[in-house]
Amino acid sequence: VKGVEEIFSFILENNLYSLDAQISAFIHPHISPSNSESSGVVISSYDMERKYALVEAIYGCAEGVQSLPHDRFLVDKKEKKIVRRDVREKRKCVVVRESGYVTSEVPLALRERQALKDDEILSMVEQAMKFEEEFGPFELEFSYMGGRLFYIQGVPYKPEKKEEDVLSEFVLKATSTKHVRSVVGRVIRVKGMEDVRRIGEGDIVFVDPKVILERKMDVVLAIARLSGNRVVLYPGTESATHSLLALKEAGHTIVFLPGMQEFEDGEMLAIRSVVEIKRVK
């Protein structure tokens, strides 16, 4: 009950509603990393041509996809086959304890395995395609529990990437929500509200992974409210729906980092297009 109260209080305090919106909250079980069950997201159409679907998966609950190394699969919907795959070593996952979301060690035997089998990926994409026929492109969050697939939530998804850009994402490089001009600036590593207040003109914002894992939405919203078009280095992928919506709608440029790369407070960075990010003195 306390958790539901916090959800509604946060929505109302931050004006995240409209007069005709229907607000609801629900509680669902989460998965222990002690078995091979998985969670993640499936995007029914990841490119503007609606040729490819994207599946991202990790052990534990789907919160881990937002900021921990995880698997990514690009599926050709017409050919019904996986055309790109990026299977990472998954040392940690996110689980739920009485204290909230916490990171936990993944058993050694599971770390380098795919979090989903190929037939599970293709079956899920087929279901997502049927969903899209009815409602349009969607991002669906899922969990496997007891060998059964559950869809936890869904949000509309607007494909904005060309086919060649989608395919090139599976080469290890940074990607972005929009074109990044050449930028040289100081990194402000944001862990809390006090760090947001230190951000000056020309600074490059790096969102600490714990901000995402611990769901510090007040910090994310504070970054979103910064004036101007800020460059925000994001330690995760575009499937991190809740955090990214606020940043996207504010018009900031979000750079998704390859390999969950991290930067320290005060470092100087040179960003030359979304392909190259270099530390400079």
- Residue at which a domain ends, from 145, 167, 189: 167
Distances 178 to 82, 85, 171, 225, 269 between C-alpha atoms, Å: 26, 24, 18, 18, 19
CA-nearest of 277, 280, 173 to 231 is 277
- Residue at which a domain ends, from 127, 151, 167: 167
Same structural domain, 261 and 126: no
Q: What gap in Å lies between CA 233 and CA 4, rounded to an integer?
A: 31
**Residue 151: domain span:** 2-167
Same structural domain, 104 and 6: yes
Q: State the number of CA atoms in the 13 A half-sphere of 21 facing the CB.
A: 10
- Residue 36: the pLDDT is 45
Same structural domain, 142 and 75: yes
Q: In this structure, what token pair is assigned to residue 163?
A: 């086919």
Tell me: the pLDDT tens digits for 63-109?
Answer: 888 778 899 999 999 999 999 888 888 999 888 777 777 888 999 98
Same structural domain, 136 and 184: no
Question: Domain total for the chain?
Answer: 2
Same structural domain, 200 and 125: no
CB distance 168 to 176 below 8 Å = no
- Residue 102: the pLDDT is 83
Same structural domain, 23 and 117: yes
Q: Give the CATH number for residue 72.
A: 3.30.470.20
Helix (H/G/I), strand (E/B), else coil: 269: strand
CA-nearest of 16, 174, 270 to 281 is 270
| Radius of gyration from C-alpha coordinates of the chain | 19
Q: 62: exposed, middle or buried (C-beta count within 10 Å: 0-12, 13-18, 19+)?
A: buried
Q: Give the CATH number for residue 238.
A: 3.50.30
Same structural domain, 189 and 153: no
- Residue at which a domain ends, from 167, 193, 211: 167
CA-nearest of 49, 40, 52, 51 to 120 is 40
Percentage of the chain exceeding pLDDT 90: 36
Per the model's pLDDT, the better-predicted residue between 113 and 245 turns out to be 113
CA-nearest of 232, 229, 228 to 219 is 232
Tell me: the pLDDT tens digits for 149-207?
Answer: 888 888 889 898 888 888 877 754 556 666 666 788 999 999 999 999 999 999 999 99
Same structural domain, 198 and 85: no
